[in-house]
Structure 1
Amino acid sequence: MTQDTVTGAASWTVQVLGQAGLRGPDGALRPLERKAAALLAYLAVEGHASRGRLIALLWPETREDAARNNLVHLLRKLGHLTGTSLIEGREMLALHPAVRVDLRGLAGDDLPQVTAPLLGTHEFDDCPELDEWVRAERVRLEEWWLLGLRERAQALEDQGAYGAALAVVLRLLDLDPLSEDAHHRLMRLHARTGNRHRALRTYERLCALLRREFGVEPLPETALLAQSLRRALPLPSLPAPFVTA
């Protein structure tokens, strides 16, 4: 591995969240067609894959020799686009370790903002196994983001940073408008910031939402919180179903 290869690979970022593409040294995004995007996303998530595995995912109905040739051409296209080698290996392929990937930056304070779906609007109906993998990864990422946001909101509330926690909970509701957990947290935070009437309006909206969408009432824990708000009682502890592990 030469220093030029390391430097070249390090100047590129693989973007697989939202619009898939390659962001070069100039900061411009080069959009990728769906199979090139899927190849990079798969390697970014899984770490490595054999050529046989990749051709089975990307060209399931193609003869093996033709599919291997398709993969060679795809790798060459990526090399021509970037002027360097973003993928290394012979039979077992992996992203060059110096390549940056947007998925690897999902940590800390970035988490609430980075919620674009894996591979954006690309669909893979003609590649059933790849389609199943993409759908499963989209669900996994969404669940991970929601859990991360709930943990962030709880940590901020515990620290007394109610305004910051409120912003995170509102982000949670943007992502999951039917979440009773998020509505419950929003009620608590409105109350903690001295806005008991807004907290009760949040409860009323939740009741209407749950009746309309599911024909159910809020959980007893949420009803108890509303009752405490109406009577100006101390807030009950966050119930176990809403406590993040």
Structure 2
Amino acid sequence: MKLSVRLLGPLEVHGPDGPVHFTGARRRAVFALLALRTGRMVSRSALVDGLWGEDAPFTATKTLQGHIAKVRKALAQAGADGVLQTREPGYLLDITQVEVDVEVFDEHMRCGRPEAALRLYRGEPLADCPVEGWAGAEIVRLREALALAEENHVAALCRDGRYAEAIGPLERLVALYPLRESLWELLMQAQHRAGRPGDALRTYRRVRALLVEEFGMEPGDALRRREAAVLAG
């Protein structure tokens, strides 16, 4: 049985003998940083950056080594001894013994399965792991991947003619990602095709007001074409 690691939300780790319990947020973060790079060596300097960023203490490397020892102990207690390996100048998780939800999510997206990818999301990535530096950039990537998965899912609903079903999720998405014009365009399409052209035109006015008032820019070509299509019936 592989070690199961869930990063898309609060950290959850399950070994052959049950859940892995890390004492302390820093130890959860150390493990999460390694899990983000499963199968690849993560140097001690990269781990220090991921834990403390520019505010790393003078004793950071020594403190890191203490955290690594405690993480190894927690893994061993769950039947996952040997998963965390030393590879100078750092450490890695053995890819043959670990399954990470981020990698499964990315595979679903590559294969055009956004609905399956969305089922893996439980909340903010690494929600209970205080990370800095490059790990912060990775969290931003995962947020963007979530937005793309949600957009692909509602686009699939529209392709299947399930316009009324797509409207509610699209209203939530434009509130979450107000600058993604493609979501507004999908919402207008869904409203129009669901027999609600008045709502589609009001949606166009909403996004135009947002873009003009907040950013001094007009809607893009796709939104303007969608408005013209609604007006033309």
State whether TM-score is above 0.5.
yes
Counterparts of 1:1-245 in structure 2 under 5 Å?
7=1, 10=2, 13-23=4-14, 33-47=24-38, 48-50=40-42, 52-53=44-45, 56-57=48-49, 58=51, 60=56, 61-62=58-59, 64=61, 67-80=64-77, 82-85=78-81, 87-91=83-87, 92-95=91-94, 97-106=96-105, 107=108, 108=113, 109-113=115-119, 114=121, 116-120=123-127, 122-124=129-131, 131-166=132-167, 169-170=170-171, 172-232=173-233
CA RMSD of aligned residues (A): 3.3
TM-score normalised by length of structure 1? 0.70
Change in CA separation of 1:180 and 1:96 when aligned onto 2, cut-off 3 Å: closer
> Any conservation in 1 of the 2:4–2:99 contact (CA below 8 Å)?
yes
2:34 and 2:60 map into 1 onto residues whose CA distance is 23
Amino acid at match of 1:176: Y
- Cα deviation, 1:127-167, whole Å, max 9, x if unaligned, reads xxxx1112110111122222333333334433434345445
Deviation at 1:176, TM superposition (A): 0.8
Please list every run of 5 or more consecutive structure 2 residues that lacks an aligned counterpart in the other structure.
Answer: none
Count how many residue pairs are aligned between Structure 1 and Structure 2. 216
Please list every run of 5 or more consecutive structure 1 residues that lacks an aligned counterpart in the other structure.
Answer: 1-6, 125-130, 233-245
- Cα deviation, 1:4-56, whole Å, max 9, x if unaligned, reads xxx4xx3x532222222335689979576332222232222212325635654
1:219 and 1:54 map into 2 onto residues whose CA distance is 41
Deviation at 1:173, TM superposition (A): 2.3
> Any conservation in 1 of the 2:9–2:125 contact (CA below 8 Å)?
yes
Change in CA separation of 1:201 and 1:51 when aligned onto 2, cut-off 3 Å: closer
Change in CA separation of 1:40 and 1:190 when aligned onto 2, cut-off 3 Å: same
Amino acid at match of 2:137: A
Between the aligned residues of both structures, percent identity stands at 27
> Any conservation in 2 of the 1:14–1:40 contact (CA below 8 Å)?
no
2:204 and 2:122 map into 1 onto residues whose CA distance is 26
> Any conservation in 1 of the 2:189–2:200 contact (CA below 8 Å)?
yes
Q: Residue 138 of structure 1 aligns to a residue in which SS? A: helix
> Any conservation in 1 of the 2:188–2:204 contact (CA below 8 Å)?
yes
Q: Residue 116 of structure 1 aligns to a residue in which SS? A: coil
Q: Residue 89 of structure 1 aligns to a residue in which SS? A: strand
- Cα deviation, 1:47-96, whole Å, max 9, x if unaligned, reads 2325635654447532655643442233223433x243272433342146
Amino acid at match of 1:85: D
- Cα deviation, 1:109-131, whole Å, max 9, x if unaligned, reads 2333527332115434xxxxxx1
Change in CA separation of 1:115 and 1:204 when aligned onto 2, cut-off 3 Å: farther
> Any conservation in 2 of the 1:18–1:118 contact (CA below 8 Å)?
yes
